[in-house]
Structure 1
Amino acid sequence: MSKVTNRPTGGMTGREWAMLLALAAAWGGSFFFNGIAVRELPSFTLVWLRVAIAAAALLSMAWLLRIRLPTAGGTWAALGLMGLLNNALPFALIVWGQHHIASGLASILNATTPVFTILAAHCLTQDEKLNIFKLAGVVAGLVGATVLIGFDVLQEVGAEVLAQLACLAAALSYALAGIFGRRFRHMGISPLATAAGQVTTSTLILLPVMLLVDQPWRLAMPEGATIGAVLAVGLLSTALAYVLYFRILAVAGATNLLLVTFLIPVVAILLGALFLGETLLPRHLLGMSLIGLGLACIDRRLPRLLGASVQARER
């Protein structure tokens, strides 16, 4: 994978943080929707339906808005690799993993994505190098996510090793996709067209695998709850999510973008408290505080604040 450059990734703007929170909400819902759908649908069928629904929605939107899709073969080859790294491979790994481990543990393992992203960005980019604040931020974010969800889920570690390794492999795939996807901005492709191209290639990649492995014509008709979950994960957690994804990637960089994996459990806890009457416990507040500290370190807000404080004292 060749080195690519982007604008320097300093602190994000308020608009970029708002998009990141919306992306966290969309992706956070995917664990819930997958948890419903895996009761009736095998892994590859669920993943293929997810990207196929998203592809249909995004291609229709591009046609309605008269947004042109790329025509060059090299661009579609790049979109195909992006679809493999960002959709087909990690979606299949996570859904398969959720057949064997709880969603809480899967989301913690998914929260390792910034670790892989920071390491990959250090090696493969010129403007997202590793520093002590990024490292401290990742550690704080991972600990915060674990505190937020609860250490009891860690009791499962080692029980289903292959499923856990699959979730970690998905996190690595997401990280590599974030680095690779930076190039689409320089190709002059809009976020909507990039998202549409990515999920379209993912649909084509997964189709023969799904037909060969799952043989979906042998499956019983799923219930209404499963159908609703599949539609939600396709339209909200994939189509809408990837328009936001490529927009944030273009303006804020891969490291900032994949901070979203720390925010996903925060959003899930807050939505439960707001709409389901769930109680916010002290560990939830502690976990959110640690995640906030981690985000501030990686986003460079804390280093700038500390630097300003030191300068003020020196005066």
Structure 2
Amino acid sequence: MNERRISAESWGLMAILALLWGASFLSIRIALDEIPPLTAMAHRVGWATLVLWIYVIARRMPLPRDRKIWISFLGMGLLNNVIPFTLMAWGQLYIPSGLTSIFNAATAIFGVLVAALLLNDERLSGRKAIGVAIGFAGVVTAIGFESLRNFDITSLAQLAVLAGTVSYAFAGVWARKRLAGLAPQVAAAGMLTASTVILVPLAWVFDGPISIDLQPRTFMAIAYFALGATAIAYLLYYRVLTLAGSGNLMLVTLMVTPIAIVLGSVVLGETLSPNAYKGFALLALGLAIIDGRVIDRMRRAR
């Protein structure tokens, strides 16, 4: 297995990306104190769309003109933004932001499983199967057996967040099949445009007219998760992908959760059950096994 060395620049950019995404759970929760989930996510994709198109046009990147590509953007927007963003934001009304970030880490677990089911070149090897099984055990542990036995709104919120991660997994397959060959920044801008076209009318119908007459705290939270944790994070993500490779980006997934947990505890006073931490430990172990590099190093050390 070829392992790309992570440079000091890559580590720095990965740390910034983890901070951006880790703090997004806190900023979303703050915004939800004043605005409903659909409206919050409409703000998120709408402002991020403007920033990304400014970037694409400034860089003079070729714009897609084929109608099939824009239809693909619509599917990607649904799977990668509309469904997961809304489900996770709604879930955060009832569960701590730190716990939401733990479930979000399961995206990679579901991603491996969905890719194995739908893509011919992503077979589920024995090692990956073990990693997925341990990851699922982590999810169940984080949910807690009491929540599974006594189903309530908290249980539903947890399942909503997990459904969002499954949607992310299908989005990965959709991108592989329908958006290959496009510049990633253009693909991100197109996806967010489609998401905006869907979310703004939905928010208007269910929540009422979208307003920017908000409390400063809410406005700052929106500015952060729309511009920082979405537009800038997308651009940074593709820079890290170029420098460090897709395999090393899995490390960012593990770095995001501790940041979200700490911020939720310090700023919002959130507390998580011991099961949540045990679940994250199992998730991290499952991801490490799927990645395979730790196992390879142990073999080489013998």
Whether TM-score is above 0.5 comes out as: yes
Shift of 1:133: 2.9
Q: Percent identity?
A: 37
CA contact (8 A) 2:21 2:256 kept: yes
Which residue does the alignment assign to 1:229?
221
- In the comparison of the two structures, how many residue pairs are matched? 290
5 Å-filtered alignment, 1:268-279, equals 268=260
1:132-173 deviation per Cα after TM superposition (whole angstroms, max 9, x unaligned): 3334445666777999xxx79886664323322211110100
Task: Decide whether aligned partners of structure 1 residues 70 and 220 sit closer, same or farther in structure 2, where only a CA change above 3 A counts.
Answer: closer
Task: Decide whether aligned partners of structure 1 residues 107 and 285 sit closer, same or farther in structure 2, where only a CA change above 3 A counts.
Answer: closer
Q: Which moved more, 1:157-166 or 1:234-243?
A: 157-166
Shift of 1:185: 6.6
Which residue does the alignment assign to 2:200?
207
1:190 matches 2:169: no
5 Å-filtered alignment, 1:1-315, equals 11-14=3-6, 20-138=14-132, 158-160=151-153, 161-183=155-177, 186-187=180-181, 189-216=182-209, 221-245=213-237, 252=245, 260-268=252-260, 293-309=285-301
Task: Decide whether aligned partners of structure 1 residues 35 and 272 sit closer, same or farther in structure 2, where only a CA change above 3 A counts.
Answer: closer
Give the whole-Å Cα distance in 1 for the aligned partners of 2:143 and 2:160: 21
Task: Decide whether aligned partners of structure 1 residues 90 and 152 sit closer, same or farther in structure 2, where only a CA change above 3 A counts.
Answer: closer
TM normalised by structure 2 equals: 0.79
Q: Which runs of 5+ in 1 are unaligned?
A: 1-8, 311-315
Give the whole-Å Cα distance in 1 for the aligned partners of 2:264 and 2:163: 29
- Opposite residue 6 of structure 2, the aligned amino acid is G
Give the whole-Å Cα distance in 1 for the aligned partners of 2:130 and 2:18: 22
Shift of 1:14: 1.3
CA contact (8 A) 1:45 1:214 kept: yes
Shift of 1:197: 1.1
CA contact (8 A) 1:11 1:299 kept: no
1:20-69 deviation per Cα after TM superposition (whole angstroms, max 9, x unaligned): 54433222111100110000001111100000010011111112222222
Shift of 1:211: 1.1
Give the whole-Å Cα distance in 1 for the aligned partners of 2:163 and 2:206: 21
- Opposite residue 305 of structure 1, the aligned amino acid is R
Shift of 1:256: 6.6
CA contact (8 A) 1:182 1:249 kept: no
Give the whole-Å Cα distance in 2 for the aligned partners of 1:184 and 1:59: 20
Give the whole-Å Cα distance in 2 for the aligned partners of 1:51 and 1:263: 24
TM normalised by structure 1 equals: 0.76
Q: Which moved more, 1:78-87 or 1:177-186?
A: 177-186
Task: Decide whether aligned partners of structure 1 residues 105 and 129 sit closer, same or farther in structure 2, where only a CA change above 3 A counts.
Answer: same
Task: Decide whether aligned partners of structure 1 residues 13 and 139 sit closer, same or farther in structure 2, where only a CA change above 3 A counts.
Answer: farther
Shift of 1:206: 1.1
Give the whole-Å Cα distance in 2 for the aligned partners of 1:190 and 1:263: 27
Task: Decide whether aligned partners of structure 1 residues 137 and 259 sit closer, same or farther in structure 2, where only a CA change above 3 A counts.
Answer: farther
Q: Which runs of 5+ in 2 are unaligned?
A: none
SS at match of 1:182: helix
Shift of 1:235: 0.7
- Opposite residue 77 of structure 2, the aligned amino acid is G
CA contact (8 A) 2:27 2:221 kept: yes
CA contact (8 A) 2:31 2:221 kept: yes
Shift of 1:87: 0.5
- Opposite residue 26 of structure 1, the aligned amino acid is L
Task: Decide whether aligned partners of structure 1 residues 80 and 223 sit closer, same or farther in structure 2, where only a CA change above 3 A counts.
Answer: same
Give the whole-Å Cα distance in 1 for the aligned partners of 2:145 and 2:22: 20
